[in-house]
Structure 1
Amino acid sequence: MPEVSRRQFLASTAAAMAAPFISTSSTRARAQESGKLGVAICGLGKLSTDQIAPALMKTRHCRLAGIVTGTPAKAEAWKAKYGIPAGNVYSYDTMDRMADNPDIDLVYVVTPNALHAQHTIQAAQAGKHVFCEKPLEISVERCQQMIDACRNAGRLLGTAYRCQYDPHHLECIRLVREEVFGKPTILQAGFAIDVGVADQWRLKRALAGGGALMDVGIYALQATRYLTGEEPIAVSAQQTSTDPVKFAEVDESVVWTTRFPSGVVAYCSTSYKAGRIQNLRVNAERGWFELDPAFFYGGNHGRRSDGKEIRYPEIDLFAAEMDDFARCIIERKPTRVPGEEGLRDVRIMQAIYESVRTGKTVSLA
């Protein structure tokens, strides 16, 4: 399986590792004894139920040790299903009590976007490492608060960018880095889903911070960054809506263009209603390659202009990202997906929204 250039990820994690990283002797001792770190899932919605908890059962370095929920019925169901001790069950108001629980080493935050900072800070102040779902938060300022809280506590903060562990995406990165088809010129990336019913937190600005862009467009945005290994210098964007009632508070569809220092241009799109958009394509000097589908939990695959396929055996991406984060904690190494990486994407998304509002190109240089 191809490996991504260490230079790209080490550069993005330098700031995260500037402060002392505390890995307590008790944490390391438990990891050495059992081989696994105790994980508490904060937020027991569909993603946690259908993907994260089952993935934890497959990991080599993690185990489901606790839960945080505001719904007593969910707490009882999870306790029964996974054998979670009553002492490892918390509400959002009692997370500070984790400080007295050595059975929990890290918290996986899976609550609505605008609650990520609150729950990350609570976990860090309780002495726990934090792995947080994307987007890291809904503003750069809140992202920075999360980063500062974890740094001050000497704990590691990671952003759940599962595609950075997908062998298909890693192969695409290798093709760019090794210039197999020459230097990239134009990138295309898009991800759209049917968001479903109107009465949900994803369509409420106070909880989601944004719509399709924040939720699934971020995958396309991230991909253009780790494929080029560069940060965009300018962005221009447009927003459209076919249902102004359902999408009164958040964006339904957004298209944007980003320019990179090398001259590469990326054309991206996202939508909560636009049907089948799930692709990633790199056009280069001597050919092209693409993934379609590109951003699913499984089943991603692609092809190249020379007729070869891009197809690897299926892995559980949630298990892969959690195992890697746990290894970073145990071995006191930087993570490839630190909080700073999440902050960069939020900064760019804010610029995309600014371009939508003003109708102008926004400089990121």
Structure 2
Amino acid sequence: MNNSRRRFLQQLTLSALAVPALNAYPFPLSHQSSGLANDKPILKVALMGLGGYAERVAEAMQSCTRAKITGLISGTPEKLKTWGAKYNVAEGSRYNYENFDQIKDNPEIDAVYIITPNALHHSQTLRVAKAGKHVICEKPMAINAQEGQEMVDACAAAGVQLLVGYRMRFEPNTLKAVEMRETGKLGKIKFFQGQTGFKIGDPNQWRVNKELAGGGSLMDIGIYAINGARYMVGEDPIWVTAQETKTDFETFKEGVDETILFQLGFPSGAVASCLSTYSMNHLDRFYLVGNDDFVEMQPSTGYGPIKGRTKNGPLNQPHTVHQTVQMDEMAQIILEGKKPILPVDGKVGLQDLKIIDAIYRSCDTGQRQELQLG
């Protein structure tokens, strides 16, 4: 038994001892009316980029027990005003993109959650780290591995933590599937399939702007299949092949991918086949196959509820608000050094970027790309 598997099983055992009736689910089941924990440290978070997903995060954080919104960063003065009033954020803790370096002098901010377009993550992370604050960055962590490495190095040099918004790594049905694999209930893992996609809609949005997104569907939705393949199979891939298909050249201009098929190979011999697309709906499915059983998850990465089943029936783990659990867990990682069952640190984000870089190279060259993720 390797060290990572031993650690995983130890964590599950401790969770089962704490809540034996809940099938080893290690997180609180309800955050709807719990309120902040008075006797434990609270992570004070500034949200950067007050768009649609930030709204979802902000609402979810109202039910957190270990994290609260204490700062806002936006380029839109009206948003700073309305959000500040709604979430009771003092005017002195509201910043724009020009002056947010001043957070270094604000003791009411421990960490910044960066929820801006992909191409901005790198420079903003470097500035937050320089200000001495922890970084939580939405995925993809950057637009390429070189930027990702610089972000990891900057946070390490500043002595701050870098976490990535991989909410699915805290989701209960996902963790149940991982537990089944780790405890051998699926047998030897042979195959994973990840299907991720939707119709993009507004052709003028930043997600199809190469300068802001750094790519297309792969950066936005395909990363779920990349990251999911890793935690579902339980290994890191050692090679990748990929093929790009484009039908709408007006919306998906040069450097913005519409649809990519990619295949991953793992050290054990397991393989993965994945699809990332901006041109069709109803694609949110993971399928993991072992010699003895399978796990199918559909939906697999949406906001919930996540549904999973095996040959013996549904997984039936409780639904939680993903971002509530994510932020409470990340607060404990940052404040208490808690080790999550599935890591969500900058190293994980950098490894995904190395895979993304290799997928794009394979699309360009038609050649298999070898991977060394470290």
**Equivalent in the alignment of 1:281:** 287
**Equivalent in the alignment of 2:361:** 354
Distance 1:200 1:286, change over 3 A: same
Distance 1:330 1:6, change over 3 A: farther
Cα offset for 1:284? 1.3
> Which SS does the other structure have where 2:319 is aligned?
coil
Deviations 1:191-241 (A, max 9, x none): 111221011111011111111111011111111111222111111111111
The answer to whether residue 235 in structure 2 is matched with residue 224 in structure 1 is no
Q: Which has the higher contact order (CA 8 A, sep 6+)?
A: 1
Equivalences for residues 135-146 of structure 1 within 5 A: 135-146=140-151
Equivalences for residues 239-258 of structure 1 within 5 A: 239-249=244-254, 250-258=256-264
Q: Letter of the 2:244 partner, please give it.
A: Q
- Whether the 8 Å CA contact 1:127–1:153 is kept in 2: the answer is yes
**Equivalent in the alignment of 1:73:** 78
- Whether the 8 Å CA contact 1:253–1:274 is kept in 2: the answer is no
**Equivalent in the alignment of 2:41:** 35
> Which SS does the other structure have where 1:351 is aligned?
helix
Distance 1:121 1:334, change over 3 A: farther
Distance 1:351 1:9, change over 3 A: farther
- Whether the 8 Å CA contact 2:192–2:233 is kept in 1: the answer is no
The answer to whether residue 274 in structure 2 is matched with residue 264 in structure 1 is no
The answer to whether residue 370 in structure 2 is matched with residue 363 in structure 1 is yes
**Equivalent in the alignment of 2:351:** 344
> Which SS does the other structure have where 2:101 is aligned?
helix
**Equivalent in the alignment of 1:58:** 63
Instruction: Find the aligned partners of 1:237 and 1:163 in 2 and give their Cα distance.
Output: 24
The answer to whether residue 90 in structure 2 is matched with residue 82 in structure 1 is no
**Equivalent in the alignment of 2:109:** 104
Cα offset for 1:32? 7.6
Instruction: Find the aligned partners of 2:52 and 2:155 in 1 and give their Cα distance.
Output: 27
**Equivalent in the alignment of 2:188:** 183
Distance 1:8 1:264, change over 3 A: farther
> Which SS does the other structure have where 1:175 is aligned?
helix
Distance 1:175 1:33, change over 3 A: closer
Q: Percent identity?
A: 39
Instruction: Find the aligned partners of 1:63 and 1:341 in 2 and give their Cα distance.
Output: 25
Instruction: Find the aligned partners of 1:260 and 1:8 in 2 and give their Cα distance.
Output: 20
**Equivalent in the alignment of 1:200:** 205
- Whether the 8 Å CA contact 2:144–2:356 is kept in 1: the answer is no
Cα offset for 1:345? 0.3
Cα offset for 1:305? 1.6
The answer to whether residue 341 in structure 2 is matched with residue 296 in structure 1 is no
- Identify which range, 105-114 or 224-233, moves more after superposition: 224-233
Deviations 1:32-63 (A, max 9, x none): 867312100000010001x1101111111111
> Which SS does the other structure have where 1:345 is aligned?
helix
Q: How many residues end up aligned between the 2 structures? A: 340
Instruction: Find the aligned partners of 1:187 and 1:325 in 2 and give their Cα distance.
Output: 28
**Equivalent in the alignment of 1:130:** 135
Cα offset for 1:104? 0.5
Deviations 1:114-164 (A, max 9, x none): 100111111111111011000000111111111111111111110110000
> Which SS does the other structure have where 1:239 is aligned?
strand
- Whether the 8 Å CA contact 2:261–2:276 is kept in 1: the answer is yes
Q: Letter of the 1:346 partner, please give it.
A: L
Instruction: Give unpaired runs (5+ residues) of structure 1.
Output: 11-30
**Equivalent in the alignment of 2:23:** none
**Equivalent in the alignment of 1:211:** 216
Instruction: Find the aligned partners of 1:295 and 1:193 in 2 and give their Cα distance.
Output: 12
CA RMSD, aligned part only? Answer: 1.8
Instruction: Find the aligned partners of 1:105 and 1:230 in 2 and give their Cα distance.
Output: 33
> Which SS does the other structure have where 1:127 is aligned?
coil
Structure-2-length-normalised TM-score: 0.87
Q: Letter of the 1:348 partner, please give it.
A: I
Deviations 1:341-363 (A, max 9, x none): 00000000110000000011111
Question: 1:120 aligned to 122, 125, 146, which one?
Answer: 125
- Whether the 8 Å CA contact 1:8–1:229 is kept in 2: the answer is no
Q: Letter of the 1:285 partner, please give it.
A: N
Instruction: Find the aligned partners of 1:280 and 1:208 in 2 and give their Cα distance.
Output: 25
> Which SS does the other structure have where 1:227 is aligned?
helix
Q: Letter of the 1:298 partner, please give it.
A: G
Structure-1-length-normalised TM-score: 0.89
